[in-house]
Amino acid sequence: MENDAFFDYYLKSLKFYFGDRCKDFGFIKFFKDKNNCFITIEDYVLESFVVLSNFLSTDRIVFSCGIIYSKGVVTGVEVCMNVLELERLNNLYKI
């Protein structure tokens, strides 16, 4: 997503956290429409979600989370927040 400083910061934080264990972060997808933005995490679910939720909670961002199941197994997490919350985050994480 262009011009979303928070997403860039989040990905850089994950690169630092995972180090050599993970080189490609294609398992994290960002989508934004007129009212909401969504972050879907489909691998390294627990670690990636904990890092994300720590950022969001620290900055008092309201978000919802849904678990993605496939054949009775958790395969991912989807986080949703209002675009106004994303704008707040972008202002906080601008370099």
Stretch 38-54: mean pLDDT: 90
- pLDDT tens track for 1-44: 456 888 888 988 999 988 888 888 888 999 999 999 999 998 88
As a CATH number, domain 5-92 is 3.30.70
Kindly report the number of other CB atoms within 10 A of residue 51's CB atom.
18
**CB-based contact 82:62 (threshold 8 Å):** yes
**CB-based contact 78:39 (threshold 8 Å):** yes
Tell me what percent of the residues of the chain surpass a pLDDT of 90. Answer: 36
pTM: predicted TM-score of the whole model, two decimal places: 0.82
How much is the pLDDT for 1?
Answer: 46
**CB-based contact 85:64 (threshold 8 Å):** no
Q: How far apart are CA 15 and CA 5, in angstroms?
A: 15
Q: Would the pLDDT of 95 be above 70?
A: no
How much is the pLDDT for 80?
Answer: 94
